[in-house]
Amino acid sequence: MFGLIGNFGPWELGFILIIVLIIMGPGKLPKVAESMGKAIKNFRNAKADDDDNELS
């Protein structure tokens, strides 16, 4: 399943960014990026907490 995703190069990432800009609009893009950043930060914190609990 994950073999279908493949590697993303700069052209693919640029294409995805253009599609997101068309769908979301440039006004909402900072809010979307902020939400994604918070989600990644929460995921990393939860993973670190889980790793700490395994060691105990």
Q: How far apart are CA 6 and CA 26, in angstroms?
A: 28
Whether 21 maps to a domain, the answer reads no
Has residue 8 been placed in a domain? no
The parent domain of residue 52 ranges over 28-56
* pLDDT the model gives residue 56: 58
Query: Which residue positions in the chain have pLDDT lower than 70?
Result: 1-6, 54-56
Q: Tell me, yes or no, whether 10 lies in a domain.
A: no
**38 lies in some domain:** yes
Specify the pTM.
0.54
Q: What angle do CA 18, 39, 36 make, to 5 degrees?
A: 15
**In angstroms, rounded to a whole number, what is the distance separating the alpha carbons of residues 27 and 53?**
41
Residue 39 lies in a domain: yes
The confidence score (pLDDT) of residue 41 equals 94
Report if residue 5 sits inside a domain: no
- Give the chain's domain count: 1
User: Is the residue at 14 inside a domain?
Assistant: no
pLDDT at 35: 92
What distance lies between CA 37 and its chain's CA centroid? 7
